[in-house]
Structure 1
Amino acid sequence: MTYNSSLLRLLDERGYIHQMTDAEGLDALASKQVVPGYVGFDATASSLHVGNLVSIMLLRRLQQAGHKPVVLMGGGTTRIGDPTGKDEVRKMLSDEAIEANIASIRTAFERFLTFGDGPTDAVMVNNHDWLGQIGYIEMLQKVGTHFTVNRMLSFDSVKLRLEREQPMTFLEFNYMILQGYDFRHLSDTMGVRLQMGGSDQWGNIVNGVELARRMDGKEVFGLTTPLITKADGSKMGKSVSGAVWLNEDALSSYDYWQFWRNCDDRDVGKFLRLFTDLPLDEIARLEALEGGAINDAKVILANEATRLCRGEEAAKAAEATAAQTFAGGGLGEDLPTVEVSAEGIRLGVACTALGFTASNGEAKRKIGEGAVKLDDAAMDDPGLLITVPAGETRKLSLGKKKHGILKGV
Structure 2
Amino acid sequence: MEDLIKEFSWRGLLQEHTPGLQDQLKRDKITLYVGFDPTADSLHIGSLLPIIMLAHFERTGHKPMAIIGGATGMIGDPSGKSTERQLLDEFTLAHNISCIKSQLARFLNFEMGNTRLLNNHDWMREISFLEFAQDIGKHLTVNYMMSKDSVKKRLGDSSSKGMSFTEFTYQLLQAYDFLHLFQNENCLLQIGGSDQWGNITTGIELIRRKMGATAHGLTFPLITKADGAKFGKSESGENIWLEARRTSPYKFFQFWINTSDEEAGRFIKMYTFLPKDTINQLIEDHRKKPHKCILQQRLATELTRWVHGEEACKSALSASRLLFGNNPMTSMEVLDDETFLSVFEGVPRAQISIEDLQKGISIIDALVEKSGFLSSKAEARRALKERSILVNRQRIDEDLILGKTNIREKRYILLQRGKKSYFILEVVKT
**Interval of TM-score (by shorter of Structure 1 and Structure 2):** 0.7 to 0.9
Aligned counterpart, 1:202: 197
- Alignment pair present for 1:125 and 2:111: no
Please report the TM-score for the alignment, with normalisation by the length of structure 2: 0.77
Aligned counterpart, 1:225: 220
1:393 counterpart (413, 421, 425): 413
2:145 counterpart (144, 147, 152): 152
Q: Read off the aligned partner of 1:17 and give its amino acid letter.
A: L
Alignment of 1:130-279 (within 5 A): 130-165=123-158, 166-167=160-161, 168-241=163-236, 242-279=238-275
Q: 1:292 to 1:29 in 2, by over 3 A?
A: closer
CA distance in 2, matches of 1:37, 1:176: 18
Deviation of 1:141 (Å): 0.8
Deviation of 1:313 (Å): 1.5
Q: Tell me which moved more, 26-35 or 175-184.
A: 26-35
Q: 1:193 to 1:285 in 2, by over 3 A?
A: same
Contact 1:6 1:65 in 2 (8 A): no
- Secondary structure at the aligned position of 1:193 is classed as strand
Aligned counterpart, 2:62: 67
Alignment of 1:9-88 (within 5 A): 9-22=6-19, 25-88=20-83
CA distance in 2, matches of 1:144, 1:296: 54
Deviation of 1:393 (Å): 3.0
Root-mean-square deviation (CA, aligned residues, Å) is 2.8
Q: 1:294 to 1:173 in 2, by over 3 A?
A: farther
1:254-288 Cα deviation digits (max 9, x unpaired): 00011111111101221111111111111112223
Q: Read off the aligned partner of 1:136 and give its amino acid letter.
A: F
Deviation of 1:341 (Å): 8.2
CA distance in 1, matches of 2:416, 2:211: 61
CA distance in 2, matches of 1:294, 1:229: 24
Q: 1:143 to 1:407 in 2, by over 3 A?
A: farther
Deviation of 1:201 (Å): 0.4
Q: 1:58 to 1:407 in 2, by over 3 A?
A: farther
Deviation of 1:187 (Å): 0.8
Deviation of 1:403 (Å): 8.2
Aligned counterpart, 1:311: 309
Q: Read off the aligned partner of 2:17 and give its amino acid letter.
A: M
**Structure 1 portions without partners, runs of 5+:** 345-374, 377-388
1:353-408 Cα deviation digits (max 9, x unpaired): xxxxxxxxxxxxxxxxxxxxxx89xxxxxxxxxxxx982233699x96x9896744
Please report the TM-score for the alignment, with normalisation by the length of structure 1: 0.81
CA distance in 1, matches of 2:54, 2:306: 14
Aligned counterpart, 1:292: 290
Q: Read off the aligned partner of 2:241 and give its amino acid letter.
A: W
CA distance in 2, matches of 1:68, 1:75: 21
Deviation of 1:75 (Å): 0.5
Aligned counterpart, 1:355: none
Q: Which has the larger radius of gyration?
A: 2
Q: 1:294 to 1:66 in 2, by over 3 A?
A: farther
1:292-313 Cα deviation digits (max 9, x unpaired): 3450221111000111111111
CA distance in 2, matches of 1:211, 1:142: 11
Q: Read off the aligned partner of 2:30 and give its amino acid letter.
A: V
Contact 1:44 1:78 in 2 (8 A): yes
1:139-180 Cα deviation digits (max 9, x unpaired): 111111122212222211111111223121110010000001
Aligned counterpart, 2:4: 7
Q: Read off the aligned partner of 1:182 and give its amino acid letter.
A: D
Deviation of 1:87 (Å): 1.8
Q: 1:206 to 1:311 in 2, by over 3 A?
A: same
CA distance in 2, matches of 1:270, 1:405: 38
Deviation of 1:342 (Å): 4.8
Q: Read off the aligned partner of 1:148 and give its amino acid letter.
A: T
- Among the aligned pairs, what percent are the same residue? 40
Work out the number of aligned pairs and report it. 360
Q: 1:391 to 1:343 in 2, by over 3 A?
A: closer
- Secondary structure at the aligned position of 1:236 is classed as coil
Deviation of 1:190 (Å): 0.8
Contact 1:51 1:235 in 2 (8 A): no
CA distance in 2, matches of 1:28, 1:109: 29
Contact 1:43 1:75 in 2 (8 A): yes
Q: 1:109 to 1:405 in 2, by over 3 A?
A: farther
Deviation of 1:10 (Å): 2.3
Contact 1:246 1:309 in 2 (8 A): yes
